[in-house]
Amino acid sequence: MGKSESFERNFNRLFAVFEEDGFIVQNPTNEAYSDSRTDCEASIAGSLSSKMKITKTLKPIIYRKDNANVQLLQKAVVIVEKT
């Protein structure tokens, strides 16, 4: 088995442990960005536009699911550019 394959396996395993504990991890790269997205802390590169997109994610969004409630635990740190 290749090194990268086993890395992926171990990484997925870690991910699954988080999910079992009720954590939801989301990578928002390529998603549309607007000023109402309070789940991200954005740095805007280039000029502003009405259509912005997340081009880089330095830290993902993490939610915690506790019974039926969802709580934002960690905001993403992202870089946003116009599309």
Partner 1 sequence: MKSVNFGIDLGTTNSLIAKYENGKAVVYKNPVGLKETLASVVAYRPERMLVGDKAREYLTKDPVNVFGGFKRKMGTDEKYYVVNIDENVTPVELSSIILKELKKFVPPTEPMEAAVITIPASFDSMQSNATLKAGQEAGFKDVFLLQEPVAACLAFFNETSAKENPAGYWLVYDLGGGTFDVALVKASDEELKIVDHEGNNFLGGMDLDFAIIDSIIVPAIIRQTGIENFNEELRVKYGKFETLYYQVMYYAEEAKKELSQVSDTVIEFSATLDGKAYDFYIPVTRKDLDNIFAPLISETIALLNKVMERNKLSAADINQLVLVGGSTYVPQVREQLAAQTGITLNYAIDPSTAVAVGAAFYAAGKYYEPAVSIGLENDGPLPEITGLPEGITAAVADVDIAISYNRSSRDSEEILLITCTGEYDKKQYRIIRKDGGFDTGLTVLKAKKTEFLPLIPGMANLFTLHVYNETGDEIHSLTNEIAITQGMFNIDGQPLPHDICIEVDDLENKTTKLEVIFERNTLLPQKRTLYREISKTIKKGSADTIIINIIEGDKNSRPSSNLGIGCIEINGKALQSDLVKGSDIEIQIQLDDSRVLSTAVFLVMTQQEFKNVFSLSEKKINISRLKEQYAQLENELGYTIRNFQNNNDDVWEIKASALMAELHTVKEKLFKLKEKDKSDEKYVIAEKITRISQEYDKLGGNERIASLLEEYFTGKDRVQEVINGADFEKDELRKQFQKLEQSETSFINSKNVSVVEGKMRQLEDLYHRALGSTTSFLITVFIEYKTYTREEFKDHNAAKSVIKMADEALQKERYPEFRRHVFSISSLVKSARYNSNIDFKGTGIG
Least gap, CB of 9 to partner 1 (angstroms): 7
Least gap, CB of 35 to partner 1 (angstroms): 5
Q: Residue 7 or residue 56: which is nearer to partner 1 going by CB?
A: 56
The footprint of partner 1 (CB under 8 A) covers 1, 9, 12-13, 16-17, 24, 26, 31, 35-39, 41-48, 55-56, 58, 61, 63, 65, 68-72, 75, 77, 79, 81
Least gap, CB of 82 to partner 1 (angstroms): 11
Question: Nearest CA to 51 among 75, 25, 70, 32?
Answer: 32
CA distances to 21, 24, 32, 62, 73 from 65, rounded to whole Å, are 8, 7, 24, 10, 10
CA 20, distance to chain mean position in Å, is: 18
